[in-house]
Amino acid sequence: MEIQLWREILDPYRQAVDELTVKFEHMIEEHHNAGLYCPIVQVSGRVKKISSILEKCQRKNVPMEELEEKIEDIAGIRIVCSFTSDIYRLAEMIGKQNDLTVICVKDYIKNPKVSGYKSFHMHVTVPIFLSDRVVDTKVEIQIRTIAMDFWASLEHKIYYKFEGHAPEYISRDLRACAEIVSNLDAKMLQLNEAILEEKEKEEQKKKEE
């Protein structure tokens, strides 16, 4: 496929990533300016490299003329939160945005992958206004905690090194680490809720004095 044709295919995805990245960064700023707690710690975006798209098409046996229909993560946004409760709160906020259309969600937190991978995925479309038409462009939004993101980054590096065929003992240890991450997230959420409860008691006590 010619470079010019790839540019025409990928340009709407690049615009979608840019728009959503700015959107979520503004959401962070809006919360901070209002003195409110923001569920977002960090946001980043990317468009798959052409080589990665071709590799995925080959792996999933997707014809090139169907790649935009069947490859749903050409454009991706990754949002990192502090707590698992923030993930679901943010997902609800995203669902209420009238400039996005949610196609489907995949909850790999409640239903982790066999590898131990946990994250909350939202597949959305974003209207991208080109010079001659409007393109509803697919974007995959991944929402995860800091701990989940750390684990997923290491898993990606390990499986990339072994070309997707890591030795069983490494896969087993990764699953064990995923369990540790899950327990850590649960404990940190519990601690955060305890802190908020203590603060609420202090504020109530001040009101009564």
Q: Are strands 134-145 and 75-81 parallel, antiparallel or unpaired?
A: parallel
Q: Reduce the DSSP state of residue 48 to 3 states and report it.
A: coil
Contacts of 105 (CB under 8 A, 6+ apart): 91, 120, 121, 122, 123
Q: In what order do the strands lie in the sheet with 75-81?
A: 42-47, 75-81, 134-145, 120-129, 101-107
Active-site position among 2, 8, 69, 140: 140
Nearest to 141 by CA among 110, 105, 184, 114: 105
72 is a catalytic site residue: no
Give catalytic residues, as residue numbers: 140
